[in-house]
């Protein structure tokens, strides 16, 4: 049996906070909080002592960052954990206990983040790729995700019972699992075609592990072999590795691809209505800044303008 946590320690209040929020947050958020908790347990093992609330100052932040870098945690994990710790200290202050939370100011340099997406051409390539019967459902879900922009936890629960017809347009009504937002989404013709081909049903449901394995196999069959850098989780850590594109696919690829491929073609507020993002800043995190189709389109405009000048000179 595990020993009870010592009072007035950071872990004690972290556990208290997590327990108080358990019924108010979604499961993925709860899991993320537990990751922060376990990371702090490992930090205490690293320094061979418990961290008390009165010890929480700028020196603690420095030591924690040294620990994170030595243990090769990603910078994102380190900063997100510190941000959560500040949340805990604010929670402690509301209990009437004074902390040094206002001293824990951090300046983080903007990091260049690789956002892996599927281009429209790659999506069409996947659509045209013949796959074994056991991969067909995953292929259909991948295409559905690329044309609806939803998280796995939402699109995998799509049902024809959620379909409504509005002035001849087929729409889907559902509440997002993570945000609880009510979404009313007009369905893309490609999604309607998949439903029709599946005898007016959505594909069969699968778990996320099965889905992630399957879409990698599908992308490999489609020869998405472009070399790129992506983050890969190795144990508790996430590291940047050079890999082929098919290996970098995961359940979020469709949501990111939807945001990237339709950005600039459809008004951003309408796209945000579809994805459920509250702010444009959050939405833009999903956009791949290196969109080859937009770059080529801009280049074609340059060529056309330059040709026009040559004619009139």
Does 301 score more than 80 pLDDT? Answer: no
pLDDT at 106: 61
Whole-structure pTM value: 0.68
- Mean pLDDT value across residues 226-231: 79
Of 66 and 58, more confident:
66
Q: What are 218's two structure tokens?
A: 């599908």
- Mean pLDDT value across residues 160-166: 93
Confidence of residue 281 (pLDDT cuts 50, 70, 90): confident
- Mean pLDDT value across residues 29-50: 92
What percent of the chain stands above pLDDT 70? 84
Does 251 score more than 60 pLDDT? Answer: yes
3-state secondary structure the chain: CCCCCCCCEHHHHHHHHHHHHCCCCCHHHHHHHHHHHHHHHHHHHHHCCCCEHHHCCHHHHHHHHHHHHHCCCCHHHHHHHHHHHHHHHHHHHHCCCCCCHHHCCCCCCCCCCCCCCCCHHHHHHHHHCCCCHHHHHHHHHHHHHHHHCCCHHHHCCCCHHHEEEECCEEEEEEECCCCCCEEEEECCHHHHHHHHHCCCCCCCCCCHHHHHHHHHHHHHHCCCCCEEEEEEEECCEEEEEEEEHHHHCCCCHHHHHHHHHHECCECHHHHHHHHCCCCHHHHHCCCCCCCHHHHHHHHHHHHHHHHHHHHHC
Of 60 and 220, more confident:
220
Non-local CB neighbours of 153 within 8 Å, separated by 6+ positions:
28, 177, 178
- Mean pLDDT value across residues 211-234: 88
Of 302 and 92, more confident:
92
Of 137 and 70, more confident:
137
pLDDT at 312: 37
**What would the pLDDT profile of 180-214 be if each residue is shown by its tens digit?**
889 999 999 999 999 999 999 999 999 999 999 99
Cα 10 off chain centre by = 28
What percent of the chain stands above pLDDT 90? 50
C-alpha dist (Å) from residue 135 to 44, 51, 71, 155, 225: 45, 49, 38, 17, 19
pLDDT at 297: 59
- Beta strand 237-244 with 163-166 is unpaired
């Amino acid at each position: 049996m595990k020993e009870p946590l010592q009072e007035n320690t950071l872990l004690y209040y972290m556990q208290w906070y997590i327990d108080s929020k358990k019924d108010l947050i979604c499961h993925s958020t709860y899991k993320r909080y537990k990751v922060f908790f376990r990371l702090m347990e490992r930090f205490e093992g690293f320094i061979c002592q418990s961290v008390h609330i009165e010890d929480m100052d700028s020196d603690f932040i420095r030591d924690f960052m040294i620990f994170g870098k030595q243990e090769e945690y990603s910078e994102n994990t380190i900063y997100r954990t510190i941000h959560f710790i500040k949340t805990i200290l604010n929670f402690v202050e509301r209990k009437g206990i004074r902390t040094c939370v206002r001293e824990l100011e951090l300046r983080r340099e903007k990091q260049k983040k690789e956002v892996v997406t599927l281009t429209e051409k790659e999506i069409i390539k996947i659509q045209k790729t013949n796959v074994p019967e056991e991969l067909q459902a995953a292929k259909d879900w991948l295409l559905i995700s690329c044309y609806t922009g939803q998280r796995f936890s939402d699109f995998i629960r799509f049902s024809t019972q959620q379909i409504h017809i509005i002035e001849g347009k087929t729409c889907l009504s559902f509440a997002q699992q993570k945000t609880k937002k009510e979404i009313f989404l007009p369905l893309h013709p490609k999604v309607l075609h998949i439903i029709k081909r599946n005898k007016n049903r959505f594909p069969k449901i699968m778990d996320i592990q099965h889905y992630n394995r399957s879409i990698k196999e599908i992308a490999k069959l489609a020869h998405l072999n472009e070399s790129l850098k992506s983050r890969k989780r190795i144990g508790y850590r996430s590291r940047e590795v050079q890999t082929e594109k098919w290996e970098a696919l995961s359940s979020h690829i469709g949501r990111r691809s939807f945001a990237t491929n339709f950005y600039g073609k459809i008004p951003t507020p309408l796209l945000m209505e579809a994805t459920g993002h509250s702010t444009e800043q959050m939405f833009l995190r999903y956009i791949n800044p290196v969109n080859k189709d937009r770059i080529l389109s801009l280049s074609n405009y340059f060529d056309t303008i330059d040709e026009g000048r040559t004619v009139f000179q």
